[in-house]
Each structure stands twice: as C-alpha cells, then as structure tokens.
C-alpha cells in the first residue's frame, strides 16, 4: 500500500492540504510506493511565514552555537547514514553504496560549515581618517529557498541548505516529487541535531510551489539544480522579482583521451563516470573524445566487453554496478535517444535496450549503451541524455578535441587523460568549462572549494558551497564609526575623504 508522505514545517511532519498528490515509484519494481503532496499557494505562504517567524532568533544566535549544531548534525548523519541511503535507493534506484557516497559528500559540507565562525568574519580598517574606523559585517538574508533535483536527494540539499543555515538563514527545501522521502528524513535529522524548529523545512510540490518561492516578497534568494530549461526559467523569474539566484543546470561532459594516456585507467574512468548511477548525474561523462584513430579503435575495443558485462540489478543487490533509471518516462526518453542515434548514423556498439530482470520485469532497467563515430551534428551529441549512454566522438588532434568542448553549449565538467603535463596545462587553460579533471573523470570539488559550470550549465555569477556560498547567503554591511574625542570639525559640505 502506498504511503502518504508529508511536508516538514516547523520541526514536524505536516499533512498536505491541497488535495493534490503525485505518485512516487520504486524504480526497481515499477510499483507506486508513496503519494507525495503537492503544495498550493496557501501552503507555500504558510511555510514562508513559519520560517520568517523562526529566522530572527536563529540569525541572532551566536555563531559558535550555530557551529555546535553543525558538529551535532555531522554526528547524526554519520551514525544514521544507512537509513538515509535506504530511502534514497528505494525511490531513486541507485545502488546502496552509491547512495552512501552521495551522503558522504553531503556530510563533507556539514564539516565545512563547522568552521562558520571563521568563514563569516568581517573586516576591520582602523583609523581610515580622522579617528574613523571602518568595519564590515556579514548578516543573514532571511528565508531562502532550495529547489533540488531527483538525482541527489541528500547531497544537493546539503550543498545549498547547510551553508544557508550556518550563515543564519532559514531554509526551505523544495525537493523533487520523484524521491522526496530522503529530504524528509534529512529534516528530521536537523531537528535531532538541535536546529530550532522552522529553520530547515521541506515543502513538497510542483510548479505551484516553485513559483510561490520565486515570487514571494520574503524569499530573497533561491538556489536551483536541475535541467537547463527549468533552470533558465528559475533564474529569469527570480531576477524579475529582485532575488539573488544561482541556477546550476544541464551538462554534456567530455573526456579527452590522448594517445599517451594510460588506457587501463581511461577505460576504468569511463565505465564509472559514464555508467555509475545509471548516468543520472550532471557530472557524468557522456562523451569520450579519443584523439587519433588508433586511440579511438583501442578505446572502443576495450570498452565494448566492459559495457556488455555491466551487472544490472536492484539497489539491494551487492554485486550490481548499476540500478534502474528513475521513472518509466525517463526510460522511454533514453531509449528514444538510442533509436535516434542509430537513425543519425552513429555506430551502436552496445545496445542497452530490452533489459528484463527476473522478479523485476516491471522495473525501469536499462543496460549500458555505447555509441561510436558520433559527430557534433547529432542530437545524441547535443542533448543531455541523462542515462547510461556513452558516445565516442573521435578527434583527429588535440586542437579539434578542445574545439569540440568549447563549441558545445554546456560547460559543466570536462576531463583529460594524458601523461603529458604540457598538454594537460594547455587544455586546462583553453577550455571554457567550470570544472576540469586531469586524469580525474568526475572533477567535483571538495566542499571547501566551489562547484559550478559555465555557458548554459549555469545561470548567475555565484558558485555552490565553498567560501562563495557564504557570500551568496549573506549581505554585507559596512560601518564607519568615530567616537567623540573633543574634536570640533564643523559642518562639511564636500565629499568626505581621509585628507
């Protein structure tokens, strides 16, 4: 029987009141496992008002006390990570170990936030002129929103919300309707860690909830991760309502394989980065670019049996390399791209369609697919497939490989595999991409650095986590002060200076 899910508002679970619900599936079986409420405008306004009421006391809480709750949350997440991973895997479909890896990357941000007393410090310039001292203060913004995707239902809310609340804001997470349970459990963990009620909330919903956050006067900032089409809408709508917006969007990540690359390492990297989590990662490698025909022939020769040998299974199969995709619609869309690729003239070396597992015949399973001789004119090269499909697009030389990367509309992540330091250095300088890996296939930075792409992979000028997150979730005040000392300057009618 399907479970009726809730919102999480003011430190407790709240039943949906709109009368609208969406089905939540178990991707391995195809069964409906839950019903998630879809908020109406009144519910959106209510959660914002609740958060606004809680915000002021939290913003006034001494920073070391906020840091202490970050330390506590780290312990709660570490001790109960299996519960979170189970919820992720049941609704997303990714393997249990993959879910644990996602949670660890969320914990990394909590660890970074433990240093908030240092990160949020202002600056002081004494005696800038005439016994005047000038200093800066960073203050919280208020109630901020995070619109998060299905593929990382714990990691991405942590990337946004942890730094938001550490800086003194209240945070409203609008998770994906496809796998909302992990977000609700994460909110419970914050309550257990001692975060005041109303500071971390979960508002389930669809476009009504998104638009409510984007247009409400008392939500000054929005962080988004998802598709480019929706991300551009979020960015434009938020800006039109005078909000700070950071919007992280689609990707088509290339991996350049130079002739001198360690081929064993390159193949291992492509298997994990291309097919891990069924390719449902914004940093997945979806295009391999071998330089030279000999390199390409060898790469495809080695990839083919590895892709054919991928172990497909449900999340609780400890031997599974890859689970199902998120929904039946996603499976149909990915299969449609595979069909289109063959029509466009690409060589389908391995066809991942038609997978059926005994006992899981209704699950949303696909095998790994591998294309060769893909060209930039093909839709399978242009579009983000977001599934277990790897395309090999051959380049005649290094310069053409760089051009392919730079000519693509997306610029999220890229990698180069080579043993030539000069080639790696030149590549890192020439490509217009936000995150670059040198012999690292998925160059997602650690929490104390910044995450973010370029071109149509990101809208807004702010990166996620790292020191820039403090800037995004705070406002700056600058104070110039002089205390009476018996000096009488008289009225000044010209622009003040330090002369």
DSSP string for 37-95: E---HHHHHHHHHHHHHHHHHHHTS-HHHHHHHHHHHHHHHHHTHHHHHHHHHHHH---
385: tokens are: 């497939």
State how far Cα 361 lies from the chain centre: 31
Extended strands (E) in 176-252: 200-202, 221-225, 244-248
What does pTM read for this prediction?
A: 0.95
Residues 289 and 401: beta-carbon distance below 8 Å: yes
What tens digit of pLDDT does each residue of 363-376 get?
999 999 999 999 99
State the CATH architecture for 3-249+457-479: 3-Layer(aba) Sandwich (3.40)
> Tell me, what's the pLDDT at 130?
82
Quick check: 437 pLDDT over 90?
Answer: yes
Quick check: 98 pLDDT over 90?
Answer: yes
Residues across the chain: 499
> Tell me, what's the pLDDT at 495?
76
Assigned fold of 253-438: Aldehyde Dehydrogenase; Chain A, domain 2 (3.40.309)
Dist CA 21 CA 205 (whole Å): 9
What tens digit of pLDDT does each residue of 108-164 get?
999 999 999 999 999 999 999 888 999 999 999 999 999 999 999 999 999 999 999
* Nearest Cα to Cα of residue 424 among 436, 434, 433: 436
* Nearest Cα to Cα of residue 368 among 285, 311, 300: 311
Active site residue 282: yes
Q: How far is CA 388 from CA 92, 98, 214, 275, 285, in A?
A: 15, 15, 33, 5, 10
Please report, for the chain, the start and end positions of each structural domain, with discontinuous segments joined by +. Answer: 3-249+457-479, 253-438
What tens digit of pLDDT does each residue of 380-402 get?
999 999 999 999 999 999 999 99
Q: SS3 of 193, please?
A: helix
> In percent, how much of the chain has pLDDT > 90?
95
Check 114, 167, 249, 282 and give the catalytic one: 282
State how far Cα 333 lies from the chain centre: 22
Q: What is the mean pLDDT of residues 446-455?
A: 94
Quick check: 494 pLDDT over 80?
Answer: no
Q: Is 135 exposed, middle or buried (0-12, 13-18, 19+ CB in 10 A)?
A: middle
Quick check: 493 pLDDT over 80?
Answer: no
């Amino acid at each position: 029987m399907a479970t009726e899910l809730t919102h999480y508002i003011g430190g407790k679970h709240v039943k949906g009141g709109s009368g609208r619900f969406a089905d939540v599936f178990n991707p391995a079986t195809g069964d409906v496992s839950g019903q998630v409420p879809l908020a109406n405008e009144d519910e959106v306004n209510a959660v914002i008002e609740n958060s606004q009421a809680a915000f002021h006391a939290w913003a006034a809480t001494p920073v070391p006390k906020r840091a202490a709750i970050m330390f506590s949350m780290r312990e709660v997440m570490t001790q109960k990570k299996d519960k979170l991973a189970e919820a992720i895997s049941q609704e997303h479909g990714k393997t249990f170990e993959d879910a644990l890896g996602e949670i660890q990357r969320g914990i990394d941000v909590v660890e970074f936030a433990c240093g908030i007393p240092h990160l949020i410090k202002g600056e002081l310039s004494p005696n800038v002129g005439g016994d005047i001292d000038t200093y800066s203060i960073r203050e919280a913004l208020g109630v901020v929103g995070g619109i998060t995707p299905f593929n990382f239902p714990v990691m991405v809310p942590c990337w946004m919300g942890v730094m938001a609340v550490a800086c003194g804001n209240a945070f409203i997470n609008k998770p994906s309707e496809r796998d909302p349970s992990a977000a609700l459990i994460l909110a419970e963990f914050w309550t257990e860690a001692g975060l005041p009620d109303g500071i971390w909330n979960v508002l389930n919903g669809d476009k009504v909830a998104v638009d409510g956050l984007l247009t409400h006067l008392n939500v000054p900032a929005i962080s988004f991760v998802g598709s480019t089409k929706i991300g551009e809408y979020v960015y434009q709508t938020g800006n039109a309502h005078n909000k700070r917006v950071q919007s992280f969007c689609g990707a088509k990540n290339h991996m350049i394989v130079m002739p001198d690359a360690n081929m064993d390492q390159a193949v291992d990297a492509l298997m994990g980065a291309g097919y891990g989590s069924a390719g449902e990662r914004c940093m997945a490698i979806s295009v391999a670019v071998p330089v030279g025909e000999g390199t390409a022939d060898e790469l495809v020769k080695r990839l083919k049996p590895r892709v054919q040998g991928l172990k497909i299974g449900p999340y609780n199969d400890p031997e599974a390399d890859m689970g199902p995709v998120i929904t039946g619609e996603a499976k149909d869309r990915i299969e449609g791209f595979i069909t289109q690729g063959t029509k466009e003239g690409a060589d389908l070396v391995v066809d991942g369609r038609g997978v059926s597992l005994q006992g899981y015949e209704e699950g949303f399973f696909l095998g790994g697919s591998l294309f060769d001789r893909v060209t930039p004119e093909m839709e399978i090269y242009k579009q983000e497939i977001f599934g277990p499909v790897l395309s090999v697009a051959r380049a005649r030389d290094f310069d053409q490989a760089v051009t392919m990367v730079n000519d693509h509309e997306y610029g999220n992540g890229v990698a180069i595999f080579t043993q030539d330091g000069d080639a790696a250095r030149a590549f890192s300088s020439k490509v217009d991409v936000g995150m670059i890996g040198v012999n690292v296939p998925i160059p997602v930075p650690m929490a104390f650095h910044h995450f973010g792409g370029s071109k149509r992979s990101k809208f807004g000028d702010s990166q996620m986590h790292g020191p820039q997150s403090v800037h995004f979730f705070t406002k700056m005040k600058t104070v110039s002060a002089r205390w009476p000392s018996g000096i009488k300057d008289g009225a000044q009618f010209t622009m003040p200076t330090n002369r």
